[in-house]
Amino acid sequence: MWERDSMLLQLPHFTKDLAKKCQENLGKSIETVFDLVEMEYDERQELLQMSDSQLVDIAWVCNRFPNIDLTYDVVDADNVRTGDDVSLQRKAKVKLDFAAPREAGKKTYTLYFMCDSYMGCDQEYSFALDVREAGAIEDDNGRE
């Protein structure tokens, strides 16, 4: 498979012609495995025109297709200072540490999740940090 090929070709029983038919589907273009999964059963059956056993094969692969759902918290987000270590924590299972920038201000970052096994699984998530000067001290009302 090449990057220019349809992601649907990763599924069993799919041909280039069927992938093109899915892409040209009236109502909604079906270009990804996730698009196919979101279809109503009857619509999917009518579009694909496959036997029940072939549809079961496709469903089996679709149900095992990687899908990352990321939720995270910036640890101590209201108190990030220039040069601080910043931690992103995902429900106490995975933690990502990095250094805050040396300049204060609102900074936007993007996390990229890259899959080396399947096409169409790469995802990106953006988040923002309000980085304050290292010497700034807040009072009890949140003012510096």
Q: Where are the domains of the chain?
A: 7-63, 73-131
Q: Match 């300049």 to its residue by tokens.
A: 103
Render pLDDT for 16-54 as a digit per residue (tens, 0 to 9): 999 999 999 988 999 999 999 999 999 999 999 999 999
> Environment class of residue 114 by beta-carbon count within 10 Å: exposed (0-12), middle (13-18) or buried (19+)?
exposed
pLDDT at 39: 94
User: Band of the pLDDT at 3, cuts 50, 70, 90?
Assistant: confident
pLDDT at 92: 54
CATH topology of domain 7-63: DNA polymerase; domain 1 (1.10.150)
Render pLDDT for 54-95 as a digit per residue (tens, 0 to 9): 999 999 999 888 877 777 788 888 888 988 898 887 765 678
The count of other CB atoms within 10 Å of the CB of residue 86 is 20
> Environment class of residue 87 by beta-carbon count within 10 Å: exposed (0-12), middle (13-18) or buried (19+)?
middle
pLDDT at 8: 96
**CB 143 within 8 Å of CB 137:** no
Tokens linked to 143 = 């003012």
> Environment class of residue 79 by beta-carbon count within 10 Å: exposed (0-12), middle (13-18) or buried (19+)?
exposed
User: Band of the pLDDT at 143, cuts 50, 70, 90?
Assistant: low
**pTM attached to this predicted model:** 0.60
> For the chain, what is the radius of gyration of the CA atoms?
22
